[in-house]
Structure 1
Amino acid sequence: MRLLPEPAPETLTLASVLDALGDPVRLQLVRRAAANPGLTCAVADLNVPKSTLTNHWRTLREAGVVRMAVDGRCRRIWLRTDELQDRFPELLDVILRLSAAEGSVEPVLSGAA
């Protein structure tokens, strides 16, 4: 597997991380990555075009929230939990806990009426 470029931990900024996490779809993707380390970038049950989903993953990677590796024809994703914890203690835990409790950040699922 080949890792895609990502910012160095010491260059991560609070503004870029919070900006990346400020979108409801990206926040849902981060929650999924937290629950399933190494998941693929294809998320079948989100009502989001593939190009938009790709852009969301790129935004998260460029902000330093996730690490991506090329695995054949797909990408594998992991949260950069340790780097984020070192740089911004407790931030990711608080955001994940609050977003799970809020419940309104869930994107529309395909097939839902």
Structure 2
Amino acid sequence: MTQREAARVLDHPEVSEIRLEGVLHALSDPVRLTIVRDLAAMDTELACSHFELPVTKSTTTHHFRVLRESGVVRQCYRGTTKLNGLRRAELAELFPGLLDSVLTAAAAEEARITG
């Protein structure tokens, strides 16, 4: 791996380092929850540019960093594109039912509000 390639590798917590309070914090923000819902619905890696969020580019970067550092998403570069994938299996192993419950509750809330 060249020095340039190494600079583009992003740090992620190991499964043993992921903490419930970090995951809950990451999922508590409406913008981050929107990102997670989109990733769950598509069930594939998505580029940061895929998401149309009501915040600035720097704030979007912050939200993705919080999701990555908490262990909710995995990010990797493919060329110049940063892809994001939900760490669904790892989260399910650590916190059975948590992600599905949050996603179900978010969908129910959206239906109730937009009703």
Shorter chain as denominator, the TM-score bin is 0.7 to 0.9
Gaps in structure 2 of 5+ consecutive residues = none
Runs of 4+ in 1 over 3 A off after TM superposition: none
- Alignment counterpart, residue 78 of structure 1, candidates 62, 75, 85: 85
Give the 5 Å matches for 1:23-34: 23-34=29-40
Give the 5 Å matches for 1:63-74: 63-74=70-81
Using a 3 Å threshold, how does the CA distance of structure 1 residues 102 and 85 change in structure 2: closer, same or farther? same
Provide TM-score, normalisation by structure 1.
0.85
Bigger mean CA offset, 39-48 vs 4-13 = 39-48
Provide TM-score, normalisation by structure 2.
0.84
Structure 1 residue 4: Cα displacement: 2.1
Gaps in structure 1 of 5+ consecutive residues = 107-113
Whose RCO is larger (CA < 8 A, sep 6+)? 1
Query: How many angstroms apart in 1 are the aligned matches of 2:19 and 2:52?
Result: 31
Q: Is the Cα contact below 8 Å between 1:3 and 1:67 reproduced in 2?
A: no
What is the DSSP-based 3-state SS (H/G/I as helix, E as strand, rest coil) of the residue aligned with 1:47?
Answer: coil
What is the DSSP-based 3-state SS (H/G/I as helix, E as strand, rest coil) of the residue aligned with 2:40?
Answer: helix
Q: Is the Cα contact below 8 Å between 2:35 and 2:51 reproduced in 1?
A: no
Structure 1 residue 46: Cα displacement: 1.9
Q: Percent identity?
A: 46
Number of positions where the alignment pairs a residue of Structure 1 with one of Structure 2:
105
Q: What is the aligned-residue RMSD (CA, Å)?
A: 1.9
